[in-house]
Amino acid sequence: MPKVIVFGSMNMDLSIDAPRVPAAGETLAGSGFITSAGGKGANQAVAAARLGADVRMLAAVGADAFGDELTAGLREAGVDTVGVRRLGNVSTGTAVILRTSGENRIVLHAGANHALTAADTDADLRRIGEKNDVLVTQGECDPVATELALHVAHELGLYTIFNPAPARPVPDDLWPCVDLVCLNETECQVMCGVLPEDDASCLEAARRLRELGAGTVVITLGASGSFGLGADDRLIRVPAAPTTVVDTTGAGDTFIGALAAGHVRGLSLSESMSLGALAAALAVSRLGAQPSIPTAKEVEALR
């Protein structure tokens, strides 16, 4: 079975629940403070590994306690961390998360996530990447290194999954290197100028992304499920699985990890999206990012 290579961020999440968003200068009493392993790249790696994929992580953390804890957590989830660099001149990335009514507001400190250079990424991918492997990457690492990762993976014959989050404009020549782009409504509007609010606008957005050069397009729609436009122009609509929302942190990452795991397991796009819907439903019913990500056995129990 091909392996999944994740080039992406590793963060320590500092999360607290509040009754509402405080006004400027206001202090509110919060509750349920937790620290948990996060970072979009690490979350996606853990999701793919727990759902049955052979996963390798390419990332950087600081030579500090957070870095130790995050790397150990990946290993416990079954992720190969040989490609995680420990850097002494920068701190591990952190995310401060405010939870209000089941929604999240997040402030990121990139730290070591922006310390990996394009040269590092090039060398690592050429060392471990093989044809038909899957590369998963996002937008929380250095933009130049991220773009190079997609170019190199495409050159080596890997299947590339790009999650442009946080969203930002990318060079035109990047899109033909993207076999599957997965993004939410807000990210979609930034990347192609269309806010997907219903099936018609989802299709318009997906076609615009295809015109830019992307292959398959998957748009996640929160409680409304997900929309897919395959490289064969087949439309796919998958509803969200029933759940009780406790914390949405990591839900999208869990879905993307499922897409990667499904691809290397030989599932169709529709089957992979359905796997993602079930996994994300379990994830949002629990607190934290990586702690909430389910195993394949837990997902199968929902079917």
What are the backbone angles phi and psi of residue 252, rounded to the nearest 5°? -65, -35
Q: Which residue type, as a one-letter code, is found at position 80?
A: D
Structure tokens at 102: 């089941």
Could you tell me if residue 282 is left (phi over 0), alpha (psi between -120 and 50 degrees) or otherwise beta?
alpha
Assign 14 to helix, strand or coil. strand
Cα dihedral 126, 82, 40, 171, rounded to 10, equals -20
Helices and strands counted in the chain (H then E): 9, 13
Determine the Cα–Cα distance for residues 85 and 275; give it in Å rounded to an integer.
Answer: 31
| Catalytic residue list contains 253 | yes
How crowded is residue 240: how many other Cβ atoms within 10 Å of its Cβ?
18
Rounded alpha-carbon distances, angstroms, from residue 203 to 17, 107, 211, 228, 273 = 36, 31, 12, 9, 17
> Could you tell me if 241 and 273 are in contact, meaning their C-beta atoms sit under 8 angstroms apart?
no
Q: Which residue type, as a one-letter code, is found at position 84?
A: V
Compute the radius of gyration of the chain from its Cα atoms: 18
> Hey, which residues does 87 pair with through a beta bridge?
62
C-alpha neighbours within 13 Å on the C-beta side of residue 101: 2
Local structure of residue 300 (DSSP, 8 states) = H
> Could you tell me if 249 and 209 are in contact, meaning their C-beta atoms sit under 8 angstroms apart?
no
Which residue of the set 13, 17, 142, 253 is catalytic?
253
Kindly list the catalytic residues.
253
